[in-house]
A and B are shown apart, each in its own frame.
Chain A
Amino acid sequence: MDDILRDDPMDTLRLLDSTAPITHVDFGIPAAVLAEMTHRCPLQCPYCSNPVELERSSAELTTEEWKKVMTELAELGVLQFHFSGGEPTVRKDIVELVRHARAVGLYTNLITSAVMLTEAKVKELADAGLDHAQVSFQGAESGVADRIAGFKDAHKKKLQAAKWLKDAGLPLTVNAVMHRQNLHQLPDIIEMAVSLGASRLEVANVQYYGWALKNRAALMPTVEQLDATTKLVEESRERLKGKLVIDYVIPDYYAERPKKCMGGWGRQFFNISPSGKVLPCHAAESITGLEFDSVRGNKSIAWIWQNSDAFQKYRGTGWMPEPCKSCDFREIDWGGCRCQAFALTGDAGNTDPACHLSPLHDKIFKLAQTEAATDVREFKYRNYANATPKGGEAN
């Protein structure tokens, strides 16, 4: 009875075989699925990871459609269901959907901006069986936070809602997306997470595609800011051991090698858009020319995951150009982020320029430094008015 509890990362549940040729591998269904319940959101974060073509509420899956999706996912072996968005609590059926997710055995996580929560709603969600909540914060105090969120009193409302969630017995994760205009508040954000009784803090530097790409000059941190942040995170992790877990995502413009985006395209992750499209990444729709299958069609989710063009196109290593093709890291970072490669090179099939071996890396690195040195402060806020109309060109 020595090895009493084996603590496996979710990867082991995905039953992957990374060495076999890609077309013959049955990809185990991911253990967790992210569902964008809606693109509607009262906040207007300029770094929002939603596509710049926001889906309208009339296109959203109905209550019954979402229930069917959840039931199908649970039968396939998905274990955790993340209610995301947009703002998932905009949907009037959110409590009913949480209840259904629980009834079919899914572990439920609400990823929320929390500004629409009331004490009664929190209680209803908890009673429906919600397992975990993640609340996003834009800063450590109203001045900075509300301006970034583009929403009056957002910060105050979030603090209140976080307390209600804790009081309801839910474990809390604080999500903080960091950039040049709020990095100086990270020390206070860490203290805030502790005093809210959060068990986890996610410190994520902005990733630049979608809305964040439009706002890059206003968001890009300096190298000095980043170095200080990394140091602060390391010190805080040590100091708060056993109290607060801190996850940290660095911005890869300044990295040597790109991140293993989504654990590799089509390997460990998919998400479902408000209208039911099954996507290899929440930003995948920013890549023009890819076609995505929908849960509304006549194909099963398992079939879409295993076989659909969008998943197959960049799965594994077969699609890779040089320098990835002959690189020892190709099955470690899987060539980086496809959405970033598309955003920066115009071709999603290129090496992610975040990699120092990409011919574009130096240019990108310099661009980041130049933008970080600007004093651009204004945001292009994320809202339907600033969104690209369906079928329109990105600008």
Chain B
Amino acid sequence: MLGTAEAMTDERPPLTEASRPVLPRYARLHYDKVRQRHVLLVPERVLVPDDTAIEILQLCDGKRTIGDIVDLLAAKYVADRDLIGGDVIVMLEDLRGRDFLVVVEGD
């Protein structure tokens, strides 16, 4: 089990490298065999994440912190950690702003 997702409020603190993001039960990353791409299924919509976003979302398991995710990506792509970190947070904040991402409290 994933632990308790935080309540959705307007004044939630911003995501940090210590946050543990996870997709809520109603936002599902799904591999679409027919169109041969991953899609994110949400109420009444189908979002089409790009390859990087897919990779990030696959790492969001409610256990890894954003810091862990950034480490993994920085190592894999031999890229600047700060740059990746900023981008990851922007992408996840965007999803969280639409309630398609939550963070797990505690450890």
Chain A positions within 8 Å of B, measured between CB atoms, are: 1-10, 12-13, 15, 29, 31-32, 75-77, 79-80, 105, 107, 109, 131-132, 169-171, 173, 199-200, 242-243
Contact = CB atoms under 8 A, between A and B. Distances in A.
Contacts of A199: 43, 99
Contacts of B94: 4-5
Contacts, number: 87
Given A1-B87, A76-B34, A13 B99 contact: no
Contact of B26 (A1, A5, A15, A170): A170
Contact of A171 (B32, B43, B50): B43
B16 interface: no
Interface of B: 10, 24-26, 28, 30, 32-35, 39, 41, 43-50, 52-53, 84, 87, 90-91, 94-95, 97, 99
Contacts of B95: 5
B30 A107 contact: yes
A8 B87 contact: no
Given A6-B47, A131-B26, 7 more contacts: A1-B87, A13-B39, A29-B34, A80-B41, A80-B46, A173-B43, A173-B44
Given A77-B32, A77-B35, A107-B41, A4 B46 contact: no
Contacts of A173: 43-44
A289 to B, nearest CB: 33
A6 B49 contact: yes
A107 B28 contact: yes
A31 B26 CA distance: 17
A7 B26 contact: no
Interface core residue of B26, B35, B43, B97 (most chain A CB under 10 Å): B43
